[in-house]
Amino acid sequence: MQPDATDHKPVLVVDFGAQYAQLIARRVREANVYSEIVPHTVTAEEIAARNPAGIVLSGGPSSVYEEGSPELDPAILELGVPVLGICYGFQVMAQQLGGEVAKTGNREYGSTAVHLSGDGGAFLGGQPAEQIAWMSHGDSVVKAPEGFDVLASSEATPVAAFANDQLKLYGVQWHPEVKHSVHGQQVLENFLHRAAGIPADWNAGNVIAEQVERIRAQVGNARVLSALSGGVDSAVSSALVHEAVGDQLVCVFVDHGLLRAGEREQVERDYVASTGVRLVTVDARERFLTALAGVTDPEEKRKIIGREFIRTFEEAERELVAEAAADGEPIRFLVQGTLYPDVVESGGGSGAANIKSHHNVGGLPEDLQFELVEPLRTLFKDEVRAIGRELGLPEAIVARQPFPGPGLGIRIVGEVTGERLELLRAADEIVRAELTAAGLDAEIWQCPVVLLADVRSVGVQGDGRTYGHPIVLRPVSSEDAMTADWTRLPYDVLARISNRITNEVAGVNRVVLDVTSKPPGTIEWE
């Protein structure tokens, strides 16, 4: 996480090990306020150095009474910065400020009725006196700190929310960041805008302007290389860099033959037309198919695809570097579509720049001698899409579902062959078309279509028996892909998909639906 990631003062989300820390940060941003995540080990001095507009203490799985449970530097609550405590963070606040937290034996999990008392003040004002909130706690605050007003209670929790307007310290026992808390976003926005007085002025337009200025300062007159995959992250990051430095950017698109129908044409035609970038396409389809011949193990396939991509990219890069040297301008920079969740999950949330080794392009060689340009490094996926739209990118690219770097190679269970790729491409194209026609794209995070190439079953098509492959549909809904549930598609849509695939795709005589959540399953079948 770069300290100068934005010109806006951040709201810092202190992570106590909550599964929802990233979700809190996203909800704050949905209120048009910039946010970042920091670990609970952060000190008051480190917080003060960041000059935050506000602080949110996340929930967590621990009890404030457990030995070794996460603690908060008490001096943070004395900085004069508005603070909101959520669940465990609420209990930490209460305990440190002289309140009382107890294990009452009355635990609350899931949807819980909450009663608001009084007018709610700046924090909870304007909300229904009776509302449903999402609880997940065993301990409860039974006595608020001195000088705090109790604003809410539930059947098992006498102090479910409190506030001290003078100190600008607030807390709720429930989780306002989850959608099951019906008025949760209003709770967060009341804290941010009314209680803390933070303006709602962080948006896609601001991000573009800030990043363009930063990219120009970083790159200067040097040339920039981008590995364009056709996915949202690489498309938007490349468009941002092009907005900043124009023809200094060269994009390399490797067609490894594992793409979905129409994706190469989409990049070469629509993306180039909307951005004006210089694009170099490398046709490496035969190279990849040859390398994958006879391989069935999914992990081995991943490694082969990653290796061949690196080799292909290196060859293209050497040609471009030689061309640049002839022009007198070296290629010094490489664009990567690193997102904020990558930074947080790899330790960057604590201030380190320890980025994951895998990116949209499937991994780049460690010895590439380039300085990274990462314009999306502070952003979540939904924000990246918003910026892509603001930059005028085609909706087909901006709204594209997440697609794995190894492409269809890991959606074929069995050996990857040209014939099987064409079969899967045809089935996948039908599924995407029908979901779009039914207006379901916004409801689905991702819908992998899987070919069970090593499985055959008997079917009846026309007047004869067939022995064909099954196709698996894996529609899932998710906030961030860390957890997911299978999407309940309408039966008529499923019927149309099944009928079209079995009628139009030769070699397929059965379509099945995967109804497994994550966990225990993964989104991809590999």
Q: What residues act catalytically?
A: 87, 175, 177
Strand partners for 450: 472
Q: Pick left, alpha or beta for residue 53 (phi over 0 → left; psi -120 to 50 → alpha; otherwise beta).
A: alpha
Distances (CA, A) of 143 to 85, 123, 148, 158: 15, 19, 10, 8
Count other Cβ atoms within 10 Å, centred on residue 104. 14
Strands 83-86 and 130-137: unpaired
Q: 216 CB contacts (<8 Å, ≥6 apart)?
A: 244, 245
Q: Are 253 and 401 in contact (CB under 8 A)?
A: no
For residue 150, which amino acid is it?
V
Tally the residues of the chain: 526
Other C-beta atoms closer than 10 Å to the C-beta of 96 total: 17
Helix (H, G, I), strand (E, B) or coil at 415: coil
Tokens of 393: 């990118």
Q: Pull the structure tokens for residue 359.
A: 């990116």
- Of the candidates 94, 19, 10, 84, the residue with the CA atom closest to the CA atom of residue 47: 10
What tokens does 82 get? 């508005």
Q: Which residues contact 16 (CB under 8 A, 6 or more apart)?
A: 40, 57, 58, 59, 60, 62, 70, 88, 89, 92
Strand bridging mode 140-143 / 100-102: antiparallel
- Count Cβ atoms below 10 Å from residue 146 Cβ, excluding itself: 9
Coil, helix or strand at residue 127 = coil
Q: Are 28 and 56 in contact (CB under 8 A)?
A: yes
DSSP alpha helix (H) spans, 438-510: 491-504
Structure-block tokens of residue 92: 């930490």
**Among the listed residues 8, 6, 27, the one whose alpha carbon sits nearest the alpha carbon of residue 480:** 27
Is the CB of residue 156 less than 8 Å from the CB of residue 104? yes
Question: Could you tell me the CA-to-CA distances from 453 to 222, 296, 509 in Å, in that order?
Answer: 47, 10, 12
254 phi, psi to nearest 5 deg: -95, 115
DSSP 338: -
Distances from the Cα of 379 to the Cα of 9, 176, 446, angstroms: 15, 21, 20
Q: What is the distance between the alpha carbons of residues 136 and 63, in angstroms, rounded to a whole number?
A: 12
Buried b (16+ CB within 10 A) or exposed e, 422-437: ebbbbbbbbbbebbee
Q: Identify the residue whose tokens are 């190894």.
A: 406
AA letter at 372? L
